[in-house]
Amino acid sequence: MPLTRVAACHVAPYFLSARKTTDKAISYVQRAAKNSAKLIVFPETYIAAFPVWSALRPPTENHDLFQQMVKESVYADGEEVDALRDTARETKTVISIGISEKSRTSTACLYNSNLIIGITGEILVHHRKLMPTFFEKLTWSPGDGHGLRVADTPYGRIGGLICGENTNPLARYSLMAQSEQIHISSWPPI
């Protein structure tokens, strides 16, 4: 396995601003790449925010926040992700980034997703969290097993799980069985 420098970007997003957060992520990728990082990792739902308000306030007080969350969530094939794909290609890095993902087939269905973007800008893994945990169910829909994949990259076989999934033995095993060499455990930046 090649020696791989990893940059773990445990940084706050611009709260509920997909564009500003994307620009911030791009600046961190560029900075990490200048310091020889080959894999740059961002937190769970870095774009556009983690809905911690659902754990702290009654649901009846969160309607405005949820509407803003829907507005600022991004498409996996949208302009924010395209900008990150371009950056991965330009810097020859692998990027792992959490997004609150909109669905083009729904008006308000969101997913807690993680993307692994390869050095040529392709999305190698598009994983939707299998089951939102606790209060997250107020924001996100359950995903599926399609994203339980390992990306074969020049820097190793990379896989990842989102937050509580890392305590799920079968989810972990599914990646281990694919000869995962680098495991990304993404958690919210709070």
Residue 46: partners with Cβ closer than 8 Å, 6 or more residues away = 13, 21, 25, 97, 98, 99, 189
Radius of gyration of the chain (CA): 16
User: Is 162 in contact with 152 (CB distance < 8 Å)?
Assistant: no
Nearest-angstrom CA–CA distance, 112 and 93: 23
User: 59's torsion region: left (phi>0), alpha (psi -120 to 50) or beta?
Assistant: alpha
Q: How many CB atoms lie within 10 A of CB 69?
A: 23
Question: Cis link prior to 7 (omega < 30° from 0)?
Answer: no
Active site residues: 44, 129, 163
